[in-house]
Amino acid sequence: MKDGVDIPLVPLRTPDTVMRLARMGAMFPTRLSFLRTLMRALAADKVEVKCTVWQIDAAGFGHAVYQLRFGGYDYALVAVSTDLPADQRTDRVIATAWDTAYVLYDGVPDAAALARICATAPKQEAARFTEQDLVLSRANKSVRLFAHVVERLRAGHQPDENLVRQTGYLMRTTAVYGNGKFGIADRAVFKDRPGLGGPFMAEMLTVWLIRHFTHDLVEHVGGRPLTRALKRHLGIGNSTGLGMAPFLVNHPVLLNNWMMARETALARVRGQRQINRAQAERLAALAARAAQHLEEWQVPDPDHQKRIDRLRAAWRAAAPLFRAEAFAKGGAIAALFDGSARQSVDLQELLCALVLEPFGDLVDDLADTMSDPFGPQVVPFPDTQTLKQEIEHHALWALSPAYESRAASRQFWYVSAAKQEPRLGNRFDEAGADLESPLDIGRRIKALYADLPDAPEPLTAFLARHPDHMMAATRVAGLSRYPYGEIRDNLIAETCLPIDMLRCKLSFFGASKFDPKSDRWTRITLCQGAPLDDELGNRADDWWLPVFGQ
Partner 1 sequence: MSWSATEIMTLAGKAARGAGAPPAQAARFGQVVVVHLTAARDVAVLSAALEALPEGPILAYPLVLDQALSDAGQGLPAALPGLEQDALLVSFVEALPFQASLQATGTDGLRLRVDLATPRPHGVPRRITGCDGLIAQMTELADRTYVPDSDSSRRVGAGARLTDND
Of 34-42, 72-80, 186-194, 267-275, which segment contacts partner 1 by CB under 8 A? Answer: 186-194
Instruction: Pinpoint the alpha helices (H) of 136-276.
Output: 143-154, 161-167, 201-222, 228-233, 244-250, 252-270
Residues numbered 2-31 forming contacts with partner 1, rule: CB under 8 A? none
Contact between residue 326 and residue 279 where contact means Cβ atoms under 8 Å apart: no
Q: In whole angstroms, how close is the CB of 448 to partner 1 at the nearest point? A: 11
Do strands 100-106 and 133-141 pair parallel, antiparallel, or not at all (unpaired)?
antiparallel
Q: What are phi and psi of 497, to 5 degrees?
A: -110, 105
Comparing CA positions, the residue from 308, 307, 345, 340 lying closest to residue 321 is 340
Compose the 325-364 pattern: x for residues touching partner 1 by CB under 8 A, - for all others.
Answer: ----------------------------------------
Residue 73: strand pairing partners: 70
Q: Is 181 in the site for partner 1 (CB under 8 A)?
A: yes
Which of 80, 294, 311, 463 forms a contact with partner 1 (CB under 8 A)? 463
Among 302, 341, 467, 538, binds partner 1 (CB under 8 A): 467
- Residues 117-176 contacting partner 1, CB under 8 A: 128, 130-131, 140, 142-144, 167
* 25, 197, 485, 498: residue in contact with partner 1 (rule CB under 8 A): 498
Residue 479, classified by CB atoms within 10 Å of its CB into exposed (0-12), middle (13-18) or buried (19+), is buried
Q: 67 phi and psi, to 5 degrees?
A: -115, 140
Nearer to partner 1, 158 or 474 (CB): 474
Burial class (CB in 10 A: 0-12, 13-18, 19+), 178: buried
Q: In this chain, which of 109, 197, 358, 425 binds partner 1, going by CB under 8 A? A: 425
Closest CA to 102 of 131, 67, 74, 65: 65
To partner 1, the closest distance from the beta carbon of 23 in angstroms equals 21
Q: Which of residues 77-96 bind partner 1 (CB under 8 A)?
A: 86-94
Residues contacting residue 209 through CB under 8 Å, at least 6 positions apart: 49, 66, 68, 77, 102, 104
Give the Cα separation of 145 and 152 in Å (integer): 10
Q: What is the DSSP letter of 224?
A: S
Number of residues that bind partner 1 (CB under 8 A): 74
CA distances from 497 to 150, 346, 423, 520 (A): 38, 16, 13, 7
518-547 binders of partner 1 (CB under 8 A): 518-521
194 is an interface residue for partner 1 by CB under 8 A: no
- Cβ burial, residue 46 (10 Å; 0-12/13-18/19+): exposed
Cβ 527 vs Cβ 14: under 8 Å: no
Instruction: For the CB of residue 255, give the shortest distance to partner 1 in the complex, in Å.
Output: 16
Toward partner 1, which CB reaches closer, 422 or 529? 422
Q: Does 186 bind partner 1 (CB under 8 A)?
A: yes
Pick between residue 425 and residue 531 the one whose CB is nearest to partner 1.
425
Judged by CB under 8 A, the chain residues 210 through 249 that form the site for partner 1 are 239, 241-242
Cβ closest to partner 1, residue 442 vs residue 531: 442
Which of 379, 404, 450, 538 touches partner 1 (CB under 8 A)?
A: 379
Q: How far is the CB of 472 from partner 1 (least distance, A)?
A: 8
Select from 74-82, 101-109, 284-292, 465-473 the region that touches partner 1 (CB under 8 A): 465-473
Q: Residue 150 and residue 163: Cα distance in Å, rounded?
A: 13
CB of 300 to partner 1, least distance (A): 10
Nearer to partner 1, 335 or 497 (CB): 497
User: Which lies closer to partner 1 via its Cβ, residue 221 or residue 463?
Assistant: 463
Choosing from 376, 399, 456, 541, the residue that interacts with partner 1 (CB under 8 A) is 376
Residues 56 and 63: their CA atoms lie apart, in Å, by 6
The sheet with strand 49-56 has its strands ordered as 49-56, 62-70, 73-81, 100-106, 133-141, 169-177, 235-240, 521-526, 512-518
- Residue 531 C-beta: closest distance to partner 1, Å: 27
Question: Contact region for partner 1 (CB under 8 A) — 279-287, 462-470, 504-512, 537-545?
Answer: 462-470
Q: Which residues 398-417 are close enough to bind partner 1 by CB under 8 A?
A: 414-417
> What is the nearest approach in angstroms of partner 1 to the Cβ of residue 345?
22
Q: Could you give the CA distance from residue 339 to residue 375 in angstroms, rounded to a whole number?
A: 38
For the beta carbon of residue 515, count every other beta carbon within 10 angstroms.
Answer: 20
**Judged by CB under 8 A, does residue 423 bind partner 1?**
yes
Q: State the minimum distance, in angstroms, from the CB of residue 435 to partner 1.
A: 5
CB of 250 to partner 1, least distance (A): 8
Of 156, 302, 320, 375, the one binding partner 1 by CB under 8 A: 375
End-to-end CA distance of the chain: 33
- Cβ nearer to partner 1, comparing 485 with 531: 485
Whether the Cβ atoms of residue 242 and residue 498 lie closer than 8 Å to each other: yes
149, 185, 218, 493: which one binds partner 1 (CB under 8 A): 185
DSSP, res 344:
-
Q: How far apart are CA 199 and CA 507, in angstroms?
A: 13
Kindly tell me which residue out of 162, 377, 404, 455 binds partner 1, with binding defined by CB under 8 A.
377
Identify any residues that bridge with 139 across adjacent strands, giving them in sequence order.
100, 173
Quick one: 66 or 414, whose CB is closer to partner 1? 414
Contact status, residue 25 vs residue 497, Cβ threshold 8 Å: yes
Q: Does 470 bind partner 1 (CB under 8 A)?
A: yes
By beta-carbon proximity to partner 1, the closer residue of 71 and 180 is 180
Question: 171 with 98: CB under 8 angstroms?
Answer: no
* Of 430, 480, 481, 534, the one binding partner 1 by CB under 8 A: 430
Q: Quick check: 432 binds partner 1 (CB under 8 A)?
A: yes
